Amino acid sequence: MPNVVAAVMAGAVVALIPAAPPEPASSLRLTLAHPDRGTSRSVTLRCEPTGGGHPEAARACSELSGSGGKIAHAPDGRMCTAVHSPVTARAKGRWRGKPVHFQAEYGNDCAMRSRTGTVFAF
């Protein structure tokens, strides 16, 4: 009988310990606009759990996680042509519960990907 009482008491103690709150989900609406072409497209990137319409969601989420949610970084060293074809990259939403409002213009898609990795690779 003492073992049953001990087991019940241990279960009661475990039940009273508050569970760690889940990490807030991350969801970003990503938009690319090419003003010289008159085109624009958007996708949703969800992380934790990974999802949305981004074709490389897992990799983009991993990159964002590694950078602490920073979208832009130093150029990655790839060689890009000097062809001027401006692109505006925008991100709006939440990253781990914090609001995100990002907008930057790049000379072309290659220059943008050099600075943003796969986040805008859609």
Residue 47's domain is classified under what CATH number?
A: 3.30.350.10
> Does any domain span residue 10?
no
Q: Each residue's pLDDT tens digit in the chain (122 positions)?
A: 555 555 555 555 445 555 655 556 899 999 999 999 999 999 999 999 999 999 999 999 999 999 999 999 999 999 999 999 999 999 999 999 999 999 999 999 999 999 999 999 99
> Does any domain span residue 93?
yes
Q: Does the pTM of the predicted model rise above 0.85? A: no
> Does any domain span residue 9?
no
Domain count, the chain: 1
69, burial (CB in 10 Å: exposed 0-12, middle 13-18, buried 19+): middle
> Are 29 and 92 in contact, with CB atoms under 8 Å apart?
yes
> Does any domain span residue 35?
yes
> Does any domain span residue 41?
yes
- Domain of residue 89 covers 23-116
> Does any domain span residue 97?
yes
Q: Which residues contact 55 (CB under 8 A, 6 or more apart)?
A: 43, 121, 122
